[in-house]
Amino acid sequence: MNVNRIIEVYQGETLNALREFIFAWWQHNNITAVLAPVELSNPAGVQLAVIEDPQQLMSVNPFAPVMINNTAGEALQILDNHSFEKLALILRPCELRTFIELGNIGRLPTGLENTLLVGVDCPGVLYPDEFRRQVDILGVETLTRSVLHDLSEGHLQSTSMRKACQICRWSSPSRADVVIGVMGVDVENVILIIARDEIIDAREHLERVTFKLASEYQLSHRETILGALAEKREEVRNKMNANFQDQCPFNDLGCLLSFFANCTLCGECLKACPIFEFRKTASLHKASLVEDLVLISRWLASCTGCGMCEQECEQGVPLSLVVNSLNHRICQELQYTPGEINQEVPWIK
């Protein structure tokens, strides 16, 4: 059963409270590195960093509304090349699901017992250009503060967010060891820290680094807000899937391909996708249309909807729409949900 705790926020400084919490947690738990988004000052922005000096935690910002890469893909590369005594990954819900899915499809290295999965609530992110525009006006800290303030007020859905975020199925992380909860939470005063179970709560010494247990009201309010957001997004997603199906029935390949009319085959969408790798593993000399179709269907079945493919496309190909619709259809047929822990992929049953 979850153990729900809170940390206190002083003078509305939510990010500072979070940073101090992670710092204290580091010290109590012999963490050796944290992979997380950090703020940059010149030019102002955010990038992913492996933090090995706890002082650097003071620039961590997992709530800046931008996603530069899918952290799960970065984590995979890091774990392939380094070993840490205890690495904490701070992940948005889609990134966490991607990390788990990479495990399901056999791409994670073994021996990850000391990798701690920390999930953060995510109201969605902006396209990088829009993020930069808003950062130029407000700065990263103020922009983040305004996002957190909106969360507190229950204003969660915005049409300026990426399409993938407007239809995202998972605004709160599932299967994280520890969740940093801000949605539907009075973030100017508290942040929720939720351990997956009593064992993790005790192992991570969360009692020592938090203030007290969360109240029933705090938890149920968060659930209500999350439920309302999930409903809104489901509505947008269903409408989008229905429009797509009307415009482009699945038996009309020509129509589907017309979405790619502007594609220049630059490959940036594929590079941005941590799940896509079949060109690296498939032996090209015996690649056939059937082999490609099978591998594409497996890739799409494992898609976790992170939106990085569409974000990287400079030609405006509506990949979130296409990928989400195909993923939905394939997963329905296969009765598969990408990103669920210990799930057997259908093609090795």
The amino acid at 291: E
158 vs 189, which CB is nearer to ligand SF4?
158
Minimum distance from residue 244 beta carbon to ligand SF4 (Å): 15
67 vs 79, which CB is nearer to ligand SF4?
67
Does 301 bind ligand SF4 (CB under 6 A)? Our answer is no
Binding mask 95-134 for ligand SF4 (x = CB under 6 A): ---------------------------x-xx---------
Place of tokens 């899937």: 241
Number of residues that bind ligand SF4 (CB under 6 A): 35
Does 89 bind ligand SF4 (CB under 6 A)? Our answer is no
Nearest to residue 115, comparing CAs of 153, 156, 71?
71
Max CA distance (Å), the chain? 63
Q: Judged by CB under 6 A, which stretch of 110-118, 211-219, 304-312, 339-347 contacts ligand SF4?
A: 304-312
Nearest to residue 270, comparing CAs of 315, 309, 326?
309
Nearest to residue 300, comparing CAs of 312, 290, 311, 309?
309
Classify the C-alpha dihedral 143-144-145-149 as positive or negative. positive
Does 94 bind ligand SF4 (CB under 6 A)? Our answer is yes
β-bridge pairing 3-8 and 212-213 = antiparallel
Task: Please check whether residue 345 is in contact with residue 104, taking contact to mean a CB–CB distance below 8 angstroms.
Answer: yes
Per CB under 6 A, the list member of 269, 301, 322, 326 interacting with ligand SF4 is: 269
d(CA 113, CA 118): 14
Minimum distance from residue 105 beta carbon to ligand SF4 (Å): 12
213 vs 266, which CB is nearer to ligand SF4?
266
Residues in 147-186 that interact with ligand SF4 by CB under 6 A: 164-165, 168, 170-171
Per CB under 6 A, the list member of 137, 265, 289, 348 interacting with ligand SF4 is: 265
DSSP 33-66: EEEEEEEEETTEEEEEEEE-SGGGGGGB-TTSS-
Which helix (H) or strand (E) segment holds residue 14: the answer is helix 14-29
Q: Which residues bind ligand SF4 (CB under 6 A)?
A: 67, 92-94, 122, 124-125, 164-165, 168, 170-171, 263-269, 272-273, 275-276, 303-309, 312-313, 315, 317, 323
